[in-house]
Chain A
């Protein structure tokens, strides 16, 4: 694989901010996706980063550092409905540009 790694589980409080990290192999790297997946449902697209920097989309932001092989998903003003698995997926040249998914980070938001 392309050594995608992310924490297995995180917990946070409603209204707080949480950062979910993802590291990956830099060689041949071509872009990184974040998806949200609620239990028993299909993943839904959140963001795509190919250039360094932070991209903000409402309460969710995604950051990428190509040189460090590092990305994070930042969730602000957490709501109970944000409890889900967050999947980091990368694309590399030589892999037909098909994303490879990490194991996902299960986020539990409690009151």
Chain B
């Protein structure tokens, strides 16, 4: 089945620094990937849609200059949290769409997530 690899799993950084998170589709090509953010006991909130070879589409309220997304190839998307602050501490999860069994459902396969703590 479809596998999405996400790194790093955990990252702790100082306030003001930048952190890059990588998301790779291992056995399929993903022209579109999605970046979500999740606070404790809350739902997944879509941050942006990453499109291979073009600019990402950001959801309302998400600062594109703060959360830089690059989708340079069909198997890799990166999210860079720039000038991170404590309020950016969260669980960031990437996902890619891959069909399952021909159902046409475009089921999302998620990476393992990256827990960011900004001190």
Given contacts A96-B49, A103-B43, A104-B43, contact A44 B105 (CB under 8 A): no
Q: Quick check: B109 and A102 within 8 Å, CB to CB?
A: no
In the bound complex, what is the Cα–Cα distance between A50 and B103 (angstroms)? 10
In the complex, chain A residues whose CB is within 8 Å of the CB of B108: 33, 45, 99
Q: Quick check: A45 and B109 within 8 Å, CB to CB?
A: yes
Given contacts A31-B105, A96-B49, A98-B34, contact A44 B110 (CB under 8 A): yes
Stretch with Cβ within 8 A of A (4 or more), from B11-19, B65-73, B111-119: B111-119
Partner of A101, one of B44, B100, B107, B112: B44
In the complex, chain A residues whose CB is within 8 Å of the CB of B106: 97
Stretch with Cβ within 8 A of B (4 or more), from A17-25, A35-43, A63-71, A74-82: A35-43
CB proximity to A under 8 Å, residues B1-48: 6, 34, 41-46
A-B contact count (CB 8 A): 47
**Is chain A's binding surface mostly helix, strand, loop or mixed?**
loop
CB distance from A47 to the nearest CB of B (A): 10
CB distance from A101 to the nearest CB of B (A): 4
| Max count, chain A CB within 10 A of own CB: residue among B43, B91, B110 | B43
User: Is there a chain B Cβ closer than 8 Å to A60's Cβ?
Assistant: no
Contact code string A76-111 (vs B, CB < 8 Å = 1, else 0): 000000000001000000001111111110100000
In the complex, chain A residues whose CB is within 8 Å of the CB of B76: none
In the complex, chain A residues whose CB is within 8 Å of the CB of B43: 87, 101-104
In the bound complex, what is the Cα–Cα distance between A101 and B103 (angstroms)? 20
Interface residues of chain A, those whose CB is within 8 Å of chain B, are: 31, 33, 40-45, 48, 50, 87, 96-104, 106
Instruction: List the 6 closest pairs (A to B, CB-CB), nearest first.
Output: A42-B110, A103-B43, A48-B105, A101-B44, A101-B43, A42-B113
Query: Known pairs A41-B113, A42-B111, A42-B113. 19 more at Cβ < 8 A?
Result: A33-B108, A40-B115, A42-B93, A42-B110, A43-B93, A44-B110, A45-B107, A45-B108, A45-B109, A48-B100, A48-B103, A48-B107, A96-B49, A98-B49, A100-B46, A101-B45, A102-B43, A104-B42, A104-B43
